[in-house]
Amino acid sequence: MPDCRKPDQNRSVSLAFALCVALWLPAACNPQVLELFFDGVNDPPPPSGPSRQELLGRIDALSEEIAAEKALQAALAAKKERSIPPIEATDTWEKALALLPTTESGDVDWMEALRRRVIAPRPGVDVPPQHVLELEVELNTAPGKMWHVQFGHESHTEWLSCASCHPGPFPLTQRDSGAITMNDMATGQYCGLCHGPVVFGTRDNCSRCHTGIPERGSDGFVASPKTPVERVASWQEVETLLPKDAEGSVDWVEALEAGLVVPRAGPDPGKVLEPVVPFKPVVLIPEGDESMRAVFPHRAHTQWLSCKNCHTKIYRMRWGQGQTTMEQIEAGKGCGVCHGTVVFGPSTNCARCHPGLE
């Protein structure tokens, strides 16, 4: 059916429609207006995930990382297993001792065991290892170069912490460090805390600390023994060849008079002994007690000791230096540097120094 409306009317309708659309479009673009007519207009868009191919690639990479970590852990476990020495599988000291190297005197040679990897010291449970300290210290408190001690930190810090020795029993400053005597060590002090109880002792291993003393059998040692006692290798064997006093101690004076020992001036065969001091015995009388007078014979001592063994470090060479008490001697001072350690002690041999007590 033909449109009977007039052209002007059609144009008016078209203009009215265009005006409505123009007014409605800005409002329609407003999300709040659109949400009135359509659900979910203001909802966020769904997340965009990786593709299937990307997911499969990630899974393969993760599988490779897991396999590499397992291989690393297995290698570390195998290395740890290999580093544990067989001695740690023993359950008694006798079994462990059978695997350890020993010295000529029968002591465990811990340093040789360390070098051979028979033992593998650990710093502790969940404790980081300590660095080995390569430091040599020379201790020269004793007179004579022969008696100087070379202390190696390296051999000790391979299994000991610095705190094992510093600040006690050894202060870290030389000012606070007094002289360390063999008597101290024999009574379990200083080096004697370990040397003697758990590692080689001080009686038959002189050259291991006193580097001026040649090792037995080395080129520097006297080649030809003068007496049978010089041919033995341990102190236990020496004691069987020497006379004893009533208390069971070695009677060195009798051994000397019998020719069982022949003192030497040192390891150098060409060095001559100092002459025996021909002094009369020195008589020391405690004030007001004649019965306790002590007689000191220089001759019996200088037959194998040098004057500087006693003077002036232990005894000054003049009168009036103060009395020496039994308490001092028993504490390893004065005469007690030797008496009580390498020769008869003071507590049961009174008459040997105090003739009035016979």
* For range 207-217, the mean pLDDT: 73
Residue 302's domain comprises 274-357
Residue 190 in any domain: the answer is yes
**Cα–Cα distance, 153 to 150 (Å, whole number):** 10
Give the predicted TM-score (pTM) of the model.
0.45
304 to 118, 163, 182, 211, 312: CA distances (angstroms): 43, 41, 19, 21, 17
Percent of the chain at pLDDT exceeding 90: 10
One domain, residues 203 and 278 = no
Residue 293 in any domain: the answer is yes
* Distance, C-alpha 312 to centroid of its chain: 35
Domain CATH for 301: 3.90.10.10
More confident residue, 122 or 102: 102
* For range 72-85, the mean pLDDT: 68
Whether residue 9 is predicted with pLDDT greater than 80 in this model: the reply is no
* For range 87-95, the mean pLDDT: 91
Give residue 216's pLDDT: 56
Whether residue 306 is predicted with pLDDT greater than 50 in this model: the reply is yes
Name the least confident of 142-146, 233-237, 299-303, 340-344. Answer: 142-146
Q: In sequence order, what are the residues at sequence separation of 6 or more whose Cβ sits closer than 8 angstroms to the Cβ of residue 22?
A: none
One domain, residues 190 and 105 = yes
Residue 159 in any domain: the answer is yes
Helix ranges (H only) for 29-151 are 31-37, 52-83, 93-99, 110-115
Residue 308 in any domain: the answer is yes
Give me the long-range contacts of 295-300 (CB less than 8 A, separation at least 24): 295/353, 295/354, 295/355, 296/353, 300/253
* For range 275-300, the mean pLDDT: 85
Give residue 194's pLDDT: 92
pLDDT digits (tens, 9 = 90+) for 164-199: 899 888 888 765 556 788 878 888 999 999 998 888
**Cα–Cα distance, 134 to 210 (Å, whole number):** 19
- Among 163, 194, 209, where does a domain finish? 209
